[in-house]
Amino acid sequence: MIEGLIAGQLMGDASRRVDKTGRTYIVARVRARNKADEEFIVNVIAFDDAACSALMALADGDALCLAGPLTPKVWTDKQGNNRPSLDLVATRVLSALDAGHPGPG
């Protein structure tokens, strides 16, 4: 297992889901870039109450950092190009809201 720390921007709003057993979880997508300025899409899922609450408090475009186990993936875009992505189970979420700053706007 790879333990990762990802910084990026929320793509769209996070959404609440419920599994077959009635357990609530949150899913989200994050856009991140590496040193070579390549874009990665991070598919995020959170089960921890604190991580779920933090994700639900954010809006599209908000900056955040996530920590947790991650899995590298590859997907194919409409043009047939292979693109990298990551799946991350968020155990920690940090944003400007945690620092007491409401952010711009």
Residue 32's domain is classified under what CATH number?
2.40.50.140
Q: What is the pLDDT of residue 84?
A: 82
Boundaries of domain holding 93: 2-99
CA dist 6 and 76 (Å) reads 22
Residue 28 lies in a domain: yes
At 75-84, the pLDDT tens digits run 898 999 988 8
Residue 104 lies in a domain: no
At 6-30, the pLDDT tens digits run 999 999 999 999 999 999 999 999 9
Measured in whole angstroms, how far is the alpha carbon of residue 55 from the centre of its chain? 8
Using the structure block, give the residue that is written with the tokens 């639900």: 56
Q: What are phi and psi of 76, to 5 degrees?
A: -110, 125
Give the model's confidence band at 39: pLDDT under 50 very low, under 70 low, under 90 confident, else very high: confident
Residue 38 lies in a domain: yes
Residues in the chain: 105
Q: Compute the radius of gyration of the chain from its Cα atoms.
A: 14
Number of domains making up the chain: 1
Residue 43 lies in a domain: yes
Residue 10 lies in a domain: yes
Residue 48 lies in a domain: yes
Q: Identify the CA nearest to 8 among candidates 40, 52, 56.
A: 40
Q: Identify the CA nearest to 46 among candidates 60, 21, 63, 29.
A: 29
Residue 42 lies in a domain: yes
Q: What is the pLDDT of residue 101?
A: 52
At 68-77, the pLDDT tens digits run 999 998 889 8
